[in-house]
Amino acid sequence: MKNLSGGRLGLNARTSGLGMMSALLLSGCATVPPPLAERTEAPSQVESGAGIANPEIWPAYEYPVPNQPEDEAHIARLLSSMTLPEKIGQLIQADLCCVSPEDVREFNLGSILVGGNSGPYGDDFAPAPAWLSAADDFYHASVDTSDGGAGVPIIWGTDAVHGHSNIIGATIFPHNIGLGAMRDPELIERIGAATAAEIRVTGQEWTFAPTVAVPQDFRWGRSYEGYSSDPELVASYVGAMVRGLQGPADGDNLLAGPYVLASTKHFLADGGTDNGVDQGDSSISEEELRDIHGLPYRPAIAEGVSTVMVSFSGWQGRKMTGNQSLITGVLKERMDFGGFVVSDWNAHGQVAGCTNESCPQALMAGIDMYMAPDTWRDVYADLLARAETGEIPMSRIDDAVARILRVKMRLGLFEAGAPSTRPLSGQYDLLGSAEHREIAREAVRSSLVLLKNQDILPLASGSRVLVAGEGTDDIARQSGGWTITWQGTGLENSQFPGATSIWDGISSAVEAGGGSAQLSPDGSFTARPDVAVVVFGEEPYAEFQGDRETLALDNALTGPYATMQRLREQGIPVVALMITGRPLYVNPALNLADAFVVAWLPGSEGGGIADVLVGDSSGAARHDFTGTLPTAWPLTPDMDDGALYDFGFGLNYGSTANAWADLPEIEVESAGDTRVWFANGTVPSSWSLLVNGTGDEAQTRITGVPAQALSGRVRVTAENFVVQEGARRFAVAEGTSSIHLRNFNPLNLDRETNADIMLLTTLRVFDAPDSAMLGSAGDTSSGMINFPMPQTNGFVRYGIPLKCLRTRGADMTQVNLPFVLTTEGETDFAIGEVRLGMDAEVILACE
Ligand code: BGC
Ligand code: BGC
């Protein structure tokens, strides 16, 4: 891939990006609380200061789900018969990574979840029947009363955020940002219903959806999970989605019908953090908090949403998970929310005074269930100990348990029997059924937004079409994050049985009309085409990985611009088709192409794109464009420079094409992932690449190459990787040598560590050393593991889970040597890239 602008790495614009986050986290979270015995006073209930809401200024709603007298009597009976440990168990949700049916039997856990990277029986790619059989295993363990317990059945939550998106073979709907372009609540309800049905096939009862974020800064990597930046548009969808998933607002016995529990997330202002920093802080006023981010709760409550997930983020310096005024005062009391509140993945650990293992503050703030994926044993033991001493009042525990039981009763869980015996269970033909795929395809058609058309589209189906660019025949790429894997990376088309790529859709449409199509990622062709469709845009990402410094498409992804340019020079009309989770500065593509279509993240039904782009043989459209922008499109990488296209813009086949006035093009300096620490032979500004030896040997900072270090013991040269001279090669003659990446403001990688992110190092080893160690360090600690470092024929991307470095002793909150590679003896190797991520080719063992 050619890097057009020389590939400058940038942490410059938001240098503070990571630094700023660390500062926030450090001030908001004392990581080491005093031991239990020393913390005798009850968690504070009297709040004062910034970040305290005044519930009176919020709208009052009415929760429509009636409390059934029989259920209330049942709840009262259970509360009086359950032991304290059983009650605490109900408050805990563990991830499948780290819990067994035996644990559920022993600890009476209220819920399990499957995180983005987990799956039944340790297999993220487990086939559908394994999900159902695991659901049965956990269910039977939960209702086992042989130990004299109450046997409250368990519920299983999953991130079915765009279809039952963790499951191979499921229908993958467009991500929410694309749905926002449709302006069609009725279709949203059908998507919700189809998703619920697919979830029920594999036995889960609960989805962590819909995301009702109202993203205000699209540098936020989770922006695509929100429908729109417009609160009214988001609100117009939320009721429909909740109804599609859960059925009627006052509905009872959900499991008897084709329904699941919904969860609106993330309460509140996940999309309102300053600078769009994931899990960051929002400094907006309470009125903005209410009117922008609070608005979607009007329809959520009106439709009787059963659960609400609280955000990782904070408001005015206070983490939501510990904010009693918002969770209890606003949501439960003022808005009358009658379901239960679940926290996010170890989010309690970020509350001031808390750790991942201990946070009674969250319960006191109003969290009813702790998502404690891998920390559940500690959280359970801690809550139990505090309840036993009376530090946590029984009334709060009973209220939380009652809320959870009430939702379980509404679900009909006590009568439903084992998951495999319920309606729709095991009907695997419903997963990715033709009917569901047709709904998804309709959504794809309706979500496309046409930004430019100089009378090129629709393509006549009889034409000769070249399909070029990146991601043309790549279902994972067109599906984005939260698809089978957490980040949506590391997948192949074979893992999407029944799905249709963009290429599949275009080629079958033109072939059906007597035309022909050629797939050619680099744009070269054998027979001169009448027209070319050039696909380009973002690659999949989810939390953390998606945050950017600016609203520019990463430089590394602009390769297809050159293809557009070349085709244009050859006189071939170009249709640019952009896969993206957000609006980005792409003026060069808008200028180069004759037509420009935003496809967002369409999911498994790529055929919907050809339905609109390819007309009939006479060239007349089969379907028109109806999508319009769900948020403004930027003129430059900085939204402060204003919009190129306003919210609501979108052309159709009736629009008249005016002469195109070229848009300004600017050099994009700081595109790229802030978690890339070494690429294209350089480090981010204010970072250093250093070579260190032993004892008093002077360290050498490597700026240009060739260079020498350690009195000539190490020679540093350039090596090709991705781009010309994109790697640095180190030839070590003998002895100890240590390659460091140093940054002067220590990074706080705590959140990334909790999320199982990896340190990725792409290396080619020409001559293996005697031994090597790889890891990260700070001034006061280091985490290093033995690295076998075998000779390789090409570059290999090795991954070490950050968690492993923490286990090995690194303080991940204070990292100023994020990368250390120490070798012993003669060796010769090249480093191509160092970054954080999930897509390792080889995961190193953490002995
Ligand atoms: C995300 C949630 C998700 C949960 C479970 C969290 O990290 O923020 O949106 O539901 O993980 O996977
Ligand atoms: C899990 C995700 C979760 C994330 C938390 C990942 O390891 O697979 O489900 O959302 O961590 O940040």
For atom 5 of ligand 2, the residue with the nearest CA is 755
Known catalytic residue: 344?
yes
- Please name the residues in contact with 761: beta carbons below 8 A apart, sequence gap of 6 or more: 774, 797, 798, 799, 800, 819, 821, 831, 833, 834
Report the C-alpha gap between 615 and 515 in whole angstroms: 11
114 Cα nearest atom in ligand 2: 9
Please, are residues 344 and 266 in contact by the beta-carbon 8 Å criterion? yes
- Of 206, 208, 547, the one to substitute when testing ligand 1's pocket (max ligand atoms within 8 A of C-beta) is 208
Sorting pLDDT into bands at 50, 70 and 90, what band is 696? confident
Distance of CA 442 to the CA centre of its chain: 24
With a Cβ cut-off of 6 Å, ligand 2 is lined by 115-117, 345, 486, 543, 755-756
Give the Å distances, CA to CA, from 355 to 348, 531, 594. 7, 58, 55
Write down the mean pLDDT value for the chain. 92
Give residue 410's region: left, alpha or beta (phi > 0; psi -120 to 50): alpha
Report the C-alpha gap between 455 and 89 in whole angstroms: 63
Please, are residues 239 and 301 in contact by the beta-carbon 8 Å criterion? no
SS3 for 678? strand
Write the DSSP assignment of 615-651 as a string of letters. Answer: --TTS--SS------SS-EESSSSGGG-EEE-TT--B
Checking if the pLDDT of 19 tops 60, the result is no
Report the C-alpha gap between 719 and 89 in whole angstroms: 56
Residue 116 Cβ < 6 Å to ligand 1: yes
For atom 11 of ligand 2, the residue with the nearest CA is 755
Known catalytic residue: 539?
no
113 Cα nearest atom in ligand 2: 9
Average pLDDT over residues 608-637: 96
For atom 6 of ligand 1, the residue with the nearest CA is 345
CA of 342 from ligand 1 middle (Å) equals 11
The closest ligand to the CA of 118 turns out to be 2
SS3 for 406? helix
- Of 319, 345, 482, 750, the one to substitute when testing ligand 1's pocket (max ligand atoms within 8 A of C-beta) is 345
CA of 362 from ligand 2 middle (Å) equals 20
pLDDT digits (tens, 9 = 90+) for 697-723: 888 888 888 899 999 999 999 999 988
CA of 310 from ligand 1 middle (Å) equals 10
pLDDT digits (tens, 9 = 90+) for 432-448: 999 999 999 999 999 99
Sorting pLDDT into bands at 50, 70 and 90, what band is 670? low
Q: Tokens for 97? A: 């990574």
For atom 2 of ligand 1, the residue with the nearest CA is 344
- Please name the residues in contact with 146: beta carbons below 8 A apart, sequence gap of 6 or more: none
Report the C-alpha gap between 15 and 536 in whole angstroms: 27
The closest ligand to the CA of 756 turns out to be 2
Residue 482 Cβ < 6 Å to ligand 1: no
Find the helix packing angle between 185-201 and 434-447, rounded to 10°: 150
pTM, two decimal places: 0.87
Sorting pLDDT into bands at 50, 70 and 90, what band is 653? very high
- The lowest-confidence range among 208-212, 240-244, 457-461, 542-546 is 542-546
Residue 344 Cβ < 6 Å to ligand 1: yes
Checking if the pLDDT of 377 tops 70, the result is yes
pLDDT digits (tens, 9 = 90+) for 38-60: 333 334 444 568 999 999 999 99
Residue 101, CB-side half-sphere exposure with 13 Å CA sphere: 15
Please report, rounded to a whole number, the percentage of residues in the chain having pLDDT higher than 90.
83
757 Cα nearest atom in ligand 2: 7
CA of 374 from ligand 1 middle (Å) equals 14
Please, are residues 732 and 828 in contact by the beta-carbon 8 Å criterion? yes
Write the DSSP assignment of 512-530 as a string of letters. Answer: HTT-EEEE-TT---SS--S
Report the C-alpha gap between 255 and 139 in whole angstroms: 14
Sorting pLDDT into bands at 50, 70 and 90, what band is 544? confident
CA of 755 from ligand 2 middle (Å) equals 5
Write the DSSP assignment of 319-374 as a string of letters. Answer: EGGG-HIIIIIIIIIIS---SEEE--TTGGGGSTT--SS--HHHHHHT--BEE-TT
SS3 for 757? coil
Single out the residue of 424, 408, 423 nearest to residue 143, CA to CA: 408
486 Cα nearest atom in ligand 1: 12
First to last CA, the chain: 37
Average pLDDT over residues 9-30: 29
- Of 113, 268, 344, 346, the one to substitute when testing ligand 1's pocket (max ligand atoms within 8 A of C-beta) is 344
Give the Å distances, CA to CA, from 785 to 774, 789, 790, 827. 5, 11, 15, 18
Please, are residues 619 and 515 in contact by the beta-carbon 8 Å criterion? no
CA of 486 from ligand 2 middle (Å) equals 7
The closest ligand to the CA of 222 turns out to be 1
486 Cα nearest atom in ligand 2: 8
CA of 758 from ligand 1 middle (Å) equals 18
Please, are residues 747 and 727 in contact by the beta-carbon 8 Å criterion? no
CA of 117 from ligand 1 middle (Å) equals 11
Locus of tokens 């640095």 = 728
- Can you give the pLDDT at residue 29? 31
- Please name the residues in contact with 251: beta carbons below 8 A apart, sequence gap of 6 or more: 257, 259, 304, 410
Residue 211, beta-bridge partner list: 265
Lay out the sheet containing 370-371: strands in order across: 206-207, 155-158, 111-114, 92-95, 370-371
- Can you give the pLDDT at residue 672? 53
- Of 93, 97, 112, 117, the one to substitute when testing ligand 2's pocket (max ligand atoms within 8 A of C-beta) is 117
pLDDT digits (tens, 9 = 90+) for 107-145: 999 999 999 989 999 999 999 999 999 999 999 999 999
CA of 358 from ligand 2 middle (Å) equals 19
Average pLDDT over residues 525-552: 94
The catalytic residue among 198, 539, 543, 828 is 543
Average pLDDT over residues 547-564: 93
Residue 751 Cβ < 6 Å to ligand 1: no
Write the DSSP assignment of 191-249 as a string of letters. Answer: HHHHHHHHHHHTT--EE---B----S-TTSTTGGGSS-S-HHHHHHHHHHHHHHHH-ST
SS3 for 807? helix
Count CB neighbours of 275 within 10 A.
Answer: 17
CA of 344 from ligand 1 middle (Å) equals 6
The catalytic residue among 198, 270, 344, 673 is 344
Count CB neighbours of 562 within 10 A.
Answer: 16
Residue 159 Cβ < 6 Å to ligand 1: yes
Residue 222 Cβ < 6 Å to ligand 1: no
For atom 6 of ligand 2, the residue with the nearest CA is 755
Locus of tokens 């109900």 = 90
